[in-house]
Structure 1
Amino acid sequence: MVNGPVRVRFCPSPTGNPHVGLVRTALFNWAFARHHGGTLVFRIEDTDAARDSEESYGQLLEAMRWLGLDWDEGPEVGGPHAPYRQSQRMDTYAEVARKLLDAGHAYHCYCTTEELDARREAARAAGKPSGYDGHCRDLSAEQKAGYEAEGRAAIVRFRMPDEPITFTDLVRGELTFTPENVPDYGIVRANGAPLYTLVNPVDDALMEITHVLRGEDLLSSTPRQVALYKALIELGVAKAVPEFGHLPYVMGEGNKKLSKRDPQASLNLYRERGFLREGLLNYLSLLGWSFSADQDVFSVEDMVATFEIADVNANPARFDLKKAESINGDHIRMMDVKAFADACTPWLRAPHAPWAPADFDQAAWEAIAPHAQTRLTVLSDITANVDFLFLPEPVFDQPSWDKAMKGDSAALLATAREKLEAADWSSADSLKEAVLAAGEVHGLKLGKAQAPVRVAVTGRTVGLPLFESLEVLGKERTLARIDAALGRLSA
């Protein structure tokens, strides 16, 4: 049950190409906002100068536009809480850190990396939690001065309360974290640069985010952020602690968490293969959520109408490429045929097309497109499916030839040629009857009879509906290709 206005955010870091796990997070936030008539804030977390890039920033914006996941506040849109790039908000974080220090919610920590590592190792050896041990929590002025005299640089740590932190996760229910498992943590580096642990909650507070929907990998940081929110409320920086919902892991090959380094995680891969945005979003929505028990294929509008974060399953979701392709194929078949034909255009032109531009026949393409639409799972497959129409001769595929051209294939092809020459070429059914009749002469059913014809004419054992393909290719070219195949067989 949602009370009051909904404000959610999608806040990626511009590092590398967008990946499908990131898109799933964006989609769930977008659908939740649209379902409740709320606001989606698109925020860029670019405080890591060593890893962030303008190229990646541009890819993030372009990916969101391609996916149709529009945002209400953020880059290129603006809004009352601008700027929406963290690199442009550094003064804000410095001011909040100062307030936390002044109020005693944070303190300077002078421990060196070597000291921290040694104490952690000792704690592990003693069977105790190995988080920060609070060494600098209550330093005297003299102790601080001594460390500074040594030339030590201090980070800023947030002081966690000495009591359990409990919150209700919208996906997982009530969760409690005890103090020994959530130690004090750093919020500002020694060089003054703010850490994610500070900037993320501060931005959420100032942008009045009501619901934080993010990946399960960030669940362990939530109790720390809940405590920080309460401190920010006390300081007048925040109005309320947002509600949290942690989305399940997406698992890849070998039942391992899908990493952005996995090839199948790249959004660009799916765009290059010709996934439709509708098909990809449909599949990604099923990674942890379901539209209904008996329906996997639905529109983005259907998802928005029914999406509730409470319906998300906490169990890990497995990324199944075959199912993603199948669902995308269903969306291809749901398209208007003209829209389908237009969508295939990039794969019918250079550099994807192996034929010369002058050999592309628009009328032939429009005639074959309705039949191609019934067979594709991704748009990029169109190139190999129609190349027989636009190449001077079919692609020679040795495995296909070996599979189809054996036994009495030459005799069958000769009979099929005879029957096809006498057929009505304005009817695919007539061409089918001709090949069927040729098969009967040789004691073969249609499936066996048509295989040598298909390979002779298209070069491959699988492809678009054969007789519709022959009709579009035409009598003269079809018979010439059968003659060429007979010549190769006799040689």
Structure 2
Amino acid sequence: MSQHANTPVRTRIAPSPTGFLHLGTARTALYSWAYARHYGGKFVLRIEDTDVARSTQDSVEQILASMKWLGLDYDEGPIYQMQRLERYHAVAEQLIAEGKAYRCYCTPAELDEMREAQRARGEKTRYDGRWRPEPGKVLPPVPAGVTPVVRFKNPLDGDVTWDDLVKGPITINNREIDDLIIVRPAAEDAPAGSLGVPTYNFAVVVDDWDMQISHVFRGDEHVNNTPWQINIFRALGAPLPAFGHVPVILGDDGQKLSKRRGAVSVTAYEEGGYLPEAMLNYLSRLGWSHGDDELFSREQLVSWFDGSHLNKSPAQWDPAKLEWVNSQYIKQADDSRLAALVAAHFAARGVQVDAANLAPMCSLFKDRCSTTVALADWLAMYFGPVSPSAEDLAAHVTDAVKPALAALADKLEALPEWSKPVIAAAIKETIGAHGLKMPQLAMPVRALVCGRVQTPSVDAVLELFEQEIVVKRLRSL
């Protein structure tokens, strides 16, 4: 049963458009989406674009495209933080008026000097509260020409405790955190009168409050932000969402996947020939399980994902396992769907192919492929020249078999009907006439016609070629 059982379930994903949607954020989006769908709730997409210098429209479009490809449909959004600046300022002013936030006029140089002095004394670096109003305290005179930041007046003592949906009870003492900045001045080059920009920890609280978010799933790098956020929620008299901090995803080298280190965009996997349902299946298993089930549908995931069985330990990204999962979905996929995907790969390579012609080819070769790119690689022999390796030619296209290849070329050229049974009969007749076994003829035929010696049944493969191409390649000795 969901935490806050009497509260309508509302989850969100809030990516920052400073780059592509990476795998960790995609997994968090998946968990948030599945949880909302399981409980009949709402899933909200929010774009956290307050990092004006690094946010781009290209990143926004890539995030939206990634969500669409994965099938993570959202009920509300996208909602952009930069369109909500007046709301953040109104809440900040409310906190100032209530004595829960204050303006700080420290310059960057003063903050650097403060930290250096703390380091020299062996203390933890933190804001020393010099502009924090307290009863009987005399504040410094307001300096001329300094635009202040707004700081939240964090409690000085006591603990912040919450029951994390993934990690269980977590407690952090307020002495471990300081008065964080909640609004920074507008950039120097911003138009006159521009509002300052809220910091992450402030904006996310106002957003989750306004959007009535009941459950927040996010990466466990945010655990240290949560006490600040809880204190701001309480200062505002706002209801607390339930928090679930999922462990990071580790790369092959055991280090965290991130935008800056080793992560690949979701759209790169689309381009790499992975099916969205396979990616959804694999991502969901990176930190969550349902018994020993490895393969399951989107509907099963929604049915099972109730917020339990989330792992506390980091998950390891395993490309080989993802390929295996994808190969299972490719085997089950509709041939016409695969044909359209393969046709798109060919188009990207500058080869225009009618997808209708690809469906039977996909049917024949899909069991051998872990991606649709690999499937396109297999089918390339039907639409362009092949180059068998010197080793295959030397091993299989021997002087002893060349007469049989010539005879087979003549037989195939004379066939009035081009179908698998008729091709099979011509091969069988040639084998009998030249005293060969099937592999002795089939292997060189594959090498010359397909450019490789391992393929499905040779008659089934040849049937999908144009008759003239097969004859021409057999005679290319």
TM-aligned CA distance change 1:465 to 1:384, over 3 Å: farther
Provide, for residues 112-171 of structure 1, a one-character-per-residue CA deviation record: whole Å limited to 9, x for no partner: 33333333344344443222232332378995462x235333211112221111111100
TM-score normalised per structure 1: 0.84
Alpha carbons of 1:45 and 1:152: their partners in 2 closer, same or farther (altered >3 Å)? Answer: same
Match of 2:322 among 303, 324, 335: 324
Summarize the alignment of residues 210-225 of structure 1 with structure 2, pairs less than 5 Å apart.
Answer: 210-225=214-229
Point out the more displaced range, 312-321 or 404-413.
Answer: 404-413
Structure 1 residue 409: deviation in Å?
Answer: 3.5
Distance 1:14 1:34 in 2: 25
Partner of 1:67: 70
Relative distance call for 1:93 and 1:198 in structure 2 (3 A) is same
**CA apart distance, 1:419:** 7.4
Summarize the Cα distance change of 1:408–1:304 in structure 2 as closer, same or farther, 3 Å threshold: closer
- Cα distance in structure 1, aligned partners of 2:224 and 2:112: 21
In the alignment, structure 1 residue 154 sits paired with structure 2 residue 148: yes
How far is 1:475 from its partner? 5.6
SS of equivalent residue, structure 1 residue 309? coil
Q: Give yes or no for contact 1:412–1:439 (8 Å, CA) kept in 2.
A: no
Q: For residues 59-208 of structure 1, what are the structure 2 equivalents within 5 Å?
A: 59-75=62-78, 84-138=79-133, 144=139, 146=141, 148-161=142-155, 162-191=157-186, 192-208=196-212
Answer yes or no: is the 8 Å Cα contact 1:8–1:41 preserved in 2. yes
Query: Amino acid of the residue matched to residue 166 of structure 2?
Result: V
**Secondary structure, aligned partner of 2:244:** strand
- Unaligned runs of at least 5 residues, structure 2: 187-195
Aligned to 1:387: 380
Contact persistence 1:15–1:51 (CA under 8 A): yes
Q: How far apart, in 1, do the equivalents of 2:10 and 2:104 lie?
A: 35
Query: Which residue is equivalent to 1:401?
Result: 389
Match of 1:168, SS state, is: strand
User: Residue 277 of structure 1 aligns with which residue?
Assistant: 276
1:253 aligns with 2:246: no
Counterparts of 1:435 and 1:362, CA distance in 2: 34
Distance 1:85 1:219 in 2: 24
SS at match of 1:107: strand
Q: 1 or 2, which has the higher helix percentage? A: 1
Distance 1:479 1:438 in 2: 19
Q: Give the direction of change, closer, same or farther, for the CA distance of 1:267–1:361 in structure 2 (3 Å limit).
A: closer
1:448-487 correspondence runs (5 A) = 450-462=442-454, 465-473=457-465, 476-484=468-476, 486=477
Question: Is 1:241 matched with 2:240?
Answer: yes
Partner AA of 2:148 in structure 1: A
Instruction: Give the RMSD, CA atoms, in angstroms.
Output: 2.9
**Which consecutive residues of structure 1, in runs of 5 or more, have no partner in the other structure?**
76-83, 487-491
Asked if 2 retains the 8 angstrom alpha-carbon contact of 1:107 and 1:157, the reply is: yes
Aligned length: 457
- For residues 459 and 70 of structure 2, the distance between their equivalents in structure 1, rounded to whole angstroms, comes to 37
Query: How far 1:14 sits from its partner (Å)?
Result: 1.9
Distance 1:158 1:436 in 2: 86
- Structure 1 partner of 2:12: 9
C-alpha displacement of 1:200: 0.7
8 Å contact from structure 1 (residues 131, 183) kept in 2: yes
Q: Within 1, Cα distance between the matches of 2:366 and 2:165?
A: 41
1:216-238: CA deviation from partner (whole Å, max 9, x where unpaired): 111110011111111111xxxx2
Q: Contact (CA 8 Å) 1:156, 1:186: kept in 2 or not?
A: yes
CA distance, structure 2, for counterparts of residue 297 and residue 307 of structure 1: 14
* Contact 2:38 2:305 survives alignment (8 Å): yes
The verdict on how the C-alpha distance between 1:141 and 1:411 changes in structure 2, with shifts beyond 3 A counting, is farther
The DSSP-based 3-state class of the residue aligned with 2:380 is helix
Counterpart contact for 1:438–1:449, Cα < 8 Å: no
**Distance apart, 1:463 and its partner CA:** 5.1
Q: Is the 8 A contact 1:431 1:467 kept in 2?
A: no
Q: Percent identity?
A: 37
1:28-76: CA deviation from partner (whole Å, max 9, x where unpaired): 100000001111111121222212222322332232222211111113x
